[in-house]
Structure 1
């Protein structure tokens, strides 16, 4: 009789706890599961916090780190009006390699965006090894003092196009004579553009940017406690999502409510 009574009492207690679990608890558990899923696109895989996108909802990372996936082939990230192909993400050193999407098929597409490359400098910055190339379009066919400048073709009659690195001494002449220009960062090792490499290959190799994650150390602590790092739109943007459905500002407790609930059945 006593054993039956204890079993019935345990079931009643379990039912009581399950009925008072709020929808927010279930949602929190779902968030833990969803934010455990990495971002995968093409050959770029296992990308986690602070990035979101793909199967990672908005609460899994910061909105400034939202990634898209173009045709299931490669990731993209946007800064203002420009889109960039993501070539690599080094999560250990917080470095991304990106390339302007509008220049990947040629330095002068049919509808180029004649705007300089810009970043979200609150969260990203250039690597010290990056160097700028300036591409000049619609220049006179003959411009004096351009020894060392290299030209490229856009198929326009009676005009010339040049690209130079930031150390080129005649750059002011090009700014004066050419109608349009854009500034594009490239990897410092390729900035001098040797003849065997060529402009297009240099543009396709992109450039490196640091990304700032002020919550990186906090995220390590969250992960060590069994949690998953997430995003909260409130004044405290970091949240540690716990396996038991709890959400903590720093790290998870070592004791989980689910363990307690199921222990009642033992």
Structure 2
């Protein structure tokens, strides 16, 4: 007996299976479900009032989330609306920030705020090597406080300035000597305190040259994990204080260095991260069954292969849906550390 042709009978059923599987709603990125750190750190950079945008590696205490910055780069705002950074218990005013070259200009607040025409007493600065280094073409000067100039030899040439801490006592002055001045040993014996500070090169011949140099400050280069790789991938740089590592905050979750991973590369072509209602598109390769061969014995093998393909597609569809729902739940419950 000739085998009964089963294909015309089940052909509508096959069409129905294809339709149900391919038209079943695959998960889309839930609207509004974006990594909270990405949202916080991608906000418009804040400032202290002088218009300088403060962003990674810096963050303003009590105004910006510390996870959007890097340890050791916390800033404050002074009463004049300027950002300041504390280095060795001294506040330094930040006048310029150049994010591209990772350089900033700072000045000691003691010098910047002095308007009395004298040189105020301060402390020597030793930049923490893990965070900063002095930029090229800077120099150092010795500030010698409480100097009794009457005891110094008249043949010694030096620049003397009023000492803010000794008022009208003209015998007490601040002497300024270059970093490697040969007179330093002899002059130091007539003074009480020595402070070494970095400055830009200045005109030593001018009386107010050192005063301007101290007010203008000096240039330093900061050291923090580079941000360019993360930025180029569309992320925002920050730091995870739990595992103490740099993080690249991306729309879906934080990554180690950038927003490109094998998983996101496979799905980003079909997932609309803006959350619109465009459906997923999926291509399926099905076994071909020629119409002029219907009812032939080999068709049973083709049909078996066809059902196997549908089963595989259905299992992987459910697996993808389950994985996405899990990721969405994780993103929704992810808490921000302030």
Q: CA deviation at 1:66?
A: 1.2
Unaligned runs of 5+ in 1: none
Q: Name 2:333's counterpart in structure 1.
A: none
Q: Name 2:156's counterpart in structure 1.
A: 147
Q: Name 1:250's counterpart in structure 2.
A: 257
Structure 1 residue 172 and structure 2 residue 179: aligned? no
Change (3 A) 1:208 1:172: same
Distance in 2 between residues matched to 1:228 and 1:52, nearest whole Å? 13
Larger radius of gyration: 2
Structure 1 residue 123 and structure 2 residue 136: aligned? no
Q: Name 2:14's counterpart in structure 1.
A: none
TM-score, L = length of structure 2: 0.63
SS in 2 for 1:49: coil
Which structure: greater strand fraction?
1
TM-score, L = length of structure 1: 0.78
What are the Cα deviations for residues 146-202 of structure 1, in whole angstroms up to 9, with x where unaligned?
Answer: 6331011122413222111113221111222201121111002x1x52316433211
Q: CA deviation at 1:41?
A: 2.7
After alignment, is 235-244 or 168-177 more displaced? 235-244
Structure 1 residue 212 and structure 2 residue 219: aligned? no
Q: Name 2:175's counterpart in structure 1.
A: 162
Change (3 A) 1:81 1:260: closer
Structure 1 residue 75 and structure 2 residue 83: aligned? yes
Distance in 2 between residues matched to 1:80 and 1:260, nearest whole Å? 45
Equivalent residue pairs, number? 243
Q: CA deviation at 1:126?
A: 1.0
Structure 1 residue 240 and structure 2 residue 251: aligned? no
Q: Superposition pairs for residues 189-208 of structure 1, below 5 Å?
A: 190=202, 192-195=203-206, 197-208=208-219
Q: Name 2:73's counterpart in structure 1.
A: 65
Equivalent residues of 2:147, 2:172 under 8 A apart: yes
Q: CA deviation at 1:43?
A: 3.5
Q: CA deviation at 1:80?
A: 1.9
Q: Name 1:52's counterpart in structure 2.
A: 59
Unaligned runs of 5+ in 2: 1-19, 280-338
Equivalent residues of 1:131, 1:185 under 8 A apart: yes
Equivalent residues of 1:10, 1:264 under 8 A apart: no
Change (3 A) 1:152 1:235: same
